[in-house]
């Protein structure tokens, strides 16, 4: 791993950072831009359909980013030899945050798919109720945790 990182450190760090940007930035855009613009749609069916569609597209983009984030994190943790250093507690904290974020993401993913099934059966009320926690607390929680993890990443890079 050390040789892989030493020969490709710029690419590995870039992939790690761009993966975080896609995930966190995407959630920020969804919560603070797309969510509010969707509210202007008068038809509940169209609003729900659009929400389900952009979440599906977002997941298609974010799932590979999450996997790439994990792979590059493992490479950097091993190659940079954080274990046994004063910074290792920061590494553990950062990876704990990303783990919580993945769990929340999986819950969001499951809820979106459940809402899609309600929507397909024309049970718009249940679809809306299933999606409500996403915008209210799940996505905001992941945004906050993601920003903290990014800050911790900067700390680990020695800035």
Residues 6+ apart with CB under 8 A from 105: 62, 66, 142
Tell me the per-residue pLDDT of 133-155, one tens digit each, with 9 for 90 and over: 999 999 999 999 999 999 999 98
Going from N- to C-terminal start, the domains of the chain cover: 2-156
Question: What was the pLDDT predicted at 85?
Answer: 86
Handedness of CA 67, 90, 99, 33 (dihedral sign): negative
For residue 73, which phi and psi values (nearest 5 degrees)?
Answer: -65, -45
Q: Is 80 helix (H, G, I), strand (E, B) or coil?
A: coil
Q: CA of 143: how far to CAs of 27, 62, 147, in Å?
A: 7, 14, 6
84-143 pLDDT per residue, tens: 888 899 999 999 999 999 999 999 999 999 999 999 999 999 999 999 999 999 999 999
What is the pLDDT, as a whole number, of residue 6? Answer: 86
Between the alpha carbon of residue 131 and those of residues 4, 5, 45, 62, 126, the distances in Å are: 42, 41, 13, 18, 9
C-alpha span between 76 and 99 (Å, rounded) = 17
Whether 78 shows a pLDDT value over 60: the answer reads: yes
Going by pLDDT thresholds of 50, 70 and 90, the confidence category of residue 58 is very high
Looking at residue 132, what is its pLDDT?
95
């Amino acid at each position: 791993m050390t040789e892989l990182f030493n020969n490709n450190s710029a690419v590995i760090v870039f992939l790690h950072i761009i993966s975080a940007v896609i995930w966190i930035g995407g959630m920020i855009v969804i919560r603070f831009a797309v969510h509010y613009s969707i509210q202007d749609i008068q038809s509940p069916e169209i609003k729900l359909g659009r929400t389900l569609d952009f979440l599906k597209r977002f997941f298609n983009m974010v799932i590979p980013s999450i996997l790439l984030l994990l792979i590059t994190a493992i490479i950097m943790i091993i190659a940079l030899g954080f274990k046994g250093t004063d910074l290792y507690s920061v590494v553990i904290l950062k990876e704990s945050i990303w783990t919580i974020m993945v769990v929340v993401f999986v819950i969001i993913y499951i809820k979106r798919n459940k809402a899609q099934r309600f929507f397909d059966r024309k049970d718009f009320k249940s679809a809306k109720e299933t999606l409500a926690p996403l915008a209210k607390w799940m996505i905001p929680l992941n945004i906050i945790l993601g920003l903290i993890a990014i800050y911790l990443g900067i700390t680990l890079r020695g800035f």
